[in-house]
Amino acid sequence: MHLAHVSDVLLVWAVAGYALAMLGYAAEFAFGRRNAGSRAVVAGRVAVALTIAGWGAHVGSVVTRGFAAHRVPWGNMYEFSSMVALVAVTVFLVLLTRQQVRFLGAFVMAPVVLYLGLAGTVLYANAGPLVPALNSYWIKIHVVAAITASGAFMVSGVVTTLYLLKDRWERRTAVGVGPGTAAAVEFERARGGGLMGWLPAAEVLDRLAYRVVAFAFPVWTFAIMAGAIWAEQAWSRYWGWDPKETWSFITWLAYAAYLHARATAGWRGRRASVLALIGFACLMVDYYVVNTVITGLHSYAGVS
């Protein structure tokens, strides 16, 4: 019980760190608009430090939860949600080490804070043993893959949404400056172009969203395959069109259509992005609606 309490406290600190980081990223944008370069840089660096601190507290929360429950810490919706949010922040931090993506900070932290807030209140479950059906080594394989893919899909959903907003804005950019070019971005920043002027070109966002989905999709594919193998061991059949299986497959189809359209039909931009957002919407149905509303063999939410 003591470790479970420590886990809960660490999660609160993680949420606080992420929320303050979100404000820091917003402050960087605000200072940047006012051409206060040094203040913007300081705000951005502080925001990154707060993100890392929140990430550390989050990792501590997950680890202590596992020790408190004497099992892997992803056996119900509360724990799964915490892990998905942790993966999303991890993906953002990894991208931050490779590219200039600090502009994503506030937009990634916002859904993470919301996700964890929902997990810690509505979806919260006390630490306890696994449901007997989940007591298998496959929970360390199938569920980890699903968590990893879901966290990455969350980041891709954020980037895709920003792309659609930026693309719409670029189409309305000033006459005489090429839409989507670096000159257009600087021009609109100088005019006070607001948030859209602060974001990179739509093409950059589109490419970033594609790369994240390209990473997450094979992981999701593996999760479905591992789940089928586990289902054969647990229920003596690989596939039974259970609601969770069905919506996982629908999610797979949506993202497969997105990648296929880009690779073969040459789809770029808005048409492809709509497919990606459909995939993310299917993922949310697969997670929230199927787990809390629809009864099936995968009803292990732990929510009373």
Task: For residues 230 and 160, state if they share a domain.
Answer: yes
Task: For residues 87 and 190, state if they share a domain.
Answer: no
Under 8 Å between Cβ of 258 and 135: no
Task: For residues 103 and 90, state if they share a domain.
Answer: yes
Mean pLDDT value across residues 196-222: 92
**Last residue in a domain, options 84, 103, 130:** 130
Report the alpha-carbon distance of residue 138 to residue 59 in Å, rounded: 22
Task: For residues 15 and 110, state if they share a domain.
Answer: yes
Provide the token pair at 209.
Answer: 């969203």
Task: For residues 166 and 288, state if they share a domain.
Answer: yes
Task: For residues 238 and 268, state if they share a domain.
Answer: yes
- Whether residue 241 has pLDDT greater than 50: yes
- pLDDT band for 304, please (50, 70, 90 cuts): very low
Inter-axis angle of helices 202-235 and 243-263, nearest 10: 140
Report the alpha-carbon distance of residue 20 to residue 280 in Å, rounded: 27
- pLDDT band for 36, please (50, 70, 90 cuts): low
- Whether residue 191 has pLDDT greater than 50: no
Nearest to 272 by CA among 218, 209, 215, 217: 209
Report the alpha-carbon distance of residue 269 to residue 274 in Å, rounded: 9
Question: Which regions of the chain does DSSP assign to beta strands (E)?
Answer: none
Phi, psi (degrees; rounded to nearest 5) at 296: -160, -170
Under 8 Å between Cβ of 202 and 180: yes
Number of domains forming the structure of the chain: 2
Task: For residues 48 and 141, state if they share a domain.
Answer: no
Report the alpha-carbon distance of residue 189 to residue 194 in Å, rounded: 7
Task: For residues 42 and 182, state if they share a domain.
Answer: no
Task: For residues 120 and 52, state if they share a domain.
Answer: yes
* Structure-model confidence comparison of residues 237 and 17, the more confident one: 17
Mean pLDDT value across residues 262-273: 81
- Whether residue 34 has pLDDT greater than 90: no
- Whether residue 249 has pLDDT greater than 70: yes
Task: For residues 137 and 55, state if they share a domain.
Answer: no
Percentage of residues in the chain having pLDDT higher than 70:
87
**Last residue in a domain, options 100, 130, 160:** 130
Nearest to 304 by CA among 130, 122, 157: 122
- pLDDT band for 171, please (50, 70, 90 cuts): confident
Task: For residues 256 and 276, state if they share a domain.
Answer: yes
| Residue carrying structure tokens 């929902």 | 118
- Whether residue 176 has pLDDT greater than 50: no
- Whether residue 177 has pLDDT greater than 80: no
Task: Give the residue numbers spanning the domain of 153.
Answer: 133-304
Provide the token pair at 53.
Answer: 């601190």
| Whole-prediction pTM | 0.87
Q: What is the DSSP letter of 268?
A: -
Task: For residues 144 and 194, state if they share a domain.
Answer: yes
In whole numbers, what is the pLDDT of the chain averaged over residues?
86
Q: Read off the amino acid at residue 300.
A: Y
**Last residue in a domain, options 78, 113, 130:** 130
Q: Find all residues with CB under 8 Å of 207, minimum gap 6, and list them.
A: none
Mean pLDDT value across residues 255-264: 91
What's the pLDDT score for residue 234?
Answer: 80
Mean pLDDT value across residues 272-292: 91
89-140 residue pLDDT tens: 999 999 999 888 999 999 999 999 999 999 999 999 998 888 777 778 888 9
- pLDDT band for 174, please (50, 70, 90 cuts): very low
Distances from the Cα of 52 to the Cα of 14, 44, 94, 212, angstroms: 10, 12, 11, 21
What's the pLDDT score for residue 183?
Answer: 54
- pLDDT band for 218, please (50, 70, 90 cuts): very high
Q: Which of left, alpha, beta for 237 (phi over 0: left; psi -120 to 50: alpha)?
A: beta
